[in-house]
């Protein structure tokens, strides 16, 4: 079955430091990968996706992600974290029948 | 504005009282889907629809029904809600594209927080 794994329930980082939220995938065929963010009491907001092309994908709010086929990873990164980046982050993979399969989520906490 | 509209945003109900959560999209998308979000479990698909009158079960369909009589609407029906259906629900839509084009994406509604007591 096609799936993604987010190994960390929570990531803590100080404001101004770089952040990484990890995601690994398990798919057969070409992976189509997505990152979403959920702020408290809000819906899901799209951050970025990898469909094809460059392995380094740039997205909203200064986030980027690197598609690494050999390590089957799609880690989310930002060079300098903001307190306002504190939220719940979901990695997802598009499977057959256009089903989006989500990871369990990683809570990012950025301290001042 | 392109959007998926869910109603209501919040709902508290009692066990066994039938309810419907509405979902409507204005993007002429073929594909629509319902998810529920629970802590530590991420989002899990309940039902999906590839087009009008075509629906199928997702990963957690028990206790739910859906219908797709019109392209824009995809209501979620709980015939006899139970406390284990207390959750945050999201409706989503997307164009039917396999493989996806570079501009492909899901659009999510704002969510419905359901509490069954």
Kindly tell me if the per-residue pLDDT of B93 is higher than 90. yes
Work out the minimum CA distance from A14 to partner chain B, whole angstroms: 24
Instruction: Give me the residues of chain A with pLDDT under 50, please.
Output: none
| Chain segment B21-71, per-residue pLDDT in tens | 999 999 999 999 999 999 999 999 999 999 999 999 999 999 999 999 999
Q: Which has the higher per-residue pLDDT, B80 or A43?
A: B80
CA distance A26 to A86: 27
Kindly tell me if the per-residue pLDDT of B103 is higher than 80. no
pLDDT of residue A40: 84
pLDDT of residue B60: 97
pLDDT of residue A41: 78
Contact A91, A102 (CB under 8 A): yes
What count of CB pairs under 8 Å joins A to B? 64
pLDDT of residue A90: 97
Kindly tell me if the per-residue pLDDT of B92 is higher than 90. yes
Residues of B in contact with A42 (CB under 8 A): 110-111
CA distance A1 to A5: 12
Structure confidence at residue B101 as a pLDDT band (50, 70, 90) = confident
CA distance A20 to A22: 6
- The continuous run of DSSP H or E covering B14 comes out as none
CA distance B38 to B70: 29
Average pLDDT over chain B reads 94
Residues of A in contact with B109 (CB under 8 A): 43
Q: How far is CA A40 from CA A103, B48, B112, in A?
A: 18, 26, 14
pLDDT of residue B13: 96
């Amino acid at each position: 079955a096609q799936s993604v794994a987010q190994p960390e329930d929570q990531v803590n980082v100080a404001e101004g430091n770089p952040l990484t939220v990890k995601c690994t995938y398990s798919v057969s065929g070409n992976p189509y990968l997505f990152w979403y963010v959920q702020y408290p009491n809000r819906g899901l907001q799209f951050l970025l996706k990898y469909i094809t092309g460059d392995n380094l994908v740039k997205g909203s709010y200064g986030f980027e992600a690197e598609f690494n086929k050999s390590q089957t990873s799609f880690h989310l990164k930002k060079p300098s974290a903001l307190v306002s980046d504190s939220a719940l982050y979901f990695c997802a993979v598009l499977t057959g029948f256009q089903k989006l399969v989500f990871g369990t989520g990683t809570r990012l906490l950025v301290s001042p | 504005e392109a959007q998926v509209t869910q109603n209501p945003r919040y709902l508290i109900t009692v066990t066994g009282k039938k309810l419907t959560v509405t979902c409507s999209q204005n993007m002429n998308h073929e594909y629509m889907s319902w998810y529920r979000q629970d802590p530590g479990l991420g989002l899990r698909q309940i039902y999906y629809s590839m087009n009008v009158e075509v629906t199928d079960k997702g990963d957690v369909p028990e206790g739910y029904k859906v219908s797709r009589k019109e392209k824009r609407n995809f209501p979620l029906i709980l015939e006899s809600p139970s406390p284990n259906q207390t959750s945050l629900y999201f409706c989503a839509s997307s164009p039917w594209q396999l493989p996806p084009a570079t501009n492909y994406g899901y659009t999510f509604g704002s969510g419905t927080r359901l509490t069954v007591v």
